[in-house]
Amino acid sequence: MASIFTKIISGEIPSFKIYEDDNYLAFLDINPNALGHTLCIPKKEINEIFDLDDETLSGLMIFSKKVAHAIKKAVVCKRVGVSIIGLEVPHVHVHLIPINKMNDMSFESKINLTQDEFIEIMKKIKSYI
């Protein structure tokens, strides 16, 4: 069965898409740690990051770098933290999270955003790509 992220790629499930090319997609995390929390995924559906072939793995990092630079311009933060977990969704994804302190990388504190706030930050990040 297709992963929830494959359904996002196809548009079967709605998302706040930030940027995509032939091989990768960036979209906002629906349950964000912070404003601008973004996921970057390969369109190829693979469960674990280190099962990606070398070309897809390095391409994902280069794609994530481009998105992270745009996030840094769109959101006031010290760093864009990077995390790869995958316990919930078995489709490789890189979390890009605006942070100011170590604890901001904890997945225990979440923020609530309205639909309008998701749209606003999506547009802002997109404008810097």
Give the residues lining the site for ligand AMP (CB under 6 A).
4, 13, 15, 29-31, 39, 85-89, 93
Q: In this structure, which amino acid lies at residue 48? A: E
Q: From the CB of 38, what's the least distance to ligand AMP, in Å?
A: 9
Q: Is 30 exposed, middle or buried, given 0-12, 13-18 or 19+ CB atoms closer than 10 A?
A: middle
Any idea what the Cα angle at residue 70 is, between residues 65 and 73, rounded to 5°? 130
Q: From the CB of 98, what's the least distance to ligand AMP, in Å?
A: 14
Candidate list 37, 69, 91, 93, residue with the active-site label: 93
95 in catalytic set: no
Beta carbon nearer to ligand AMP, 15 or 56: 15
Asked if 107 and 88 count as a contact pair (C-beta separation under 8 A), the reply is no
Q: From the CB of 107, what's the least distance to ligand AMP, in Å?
A: 7
Question: What is the phi/psi pair of residue 107, to 5°?
Answer: -90, 20
The set of catalytic residues is: 93
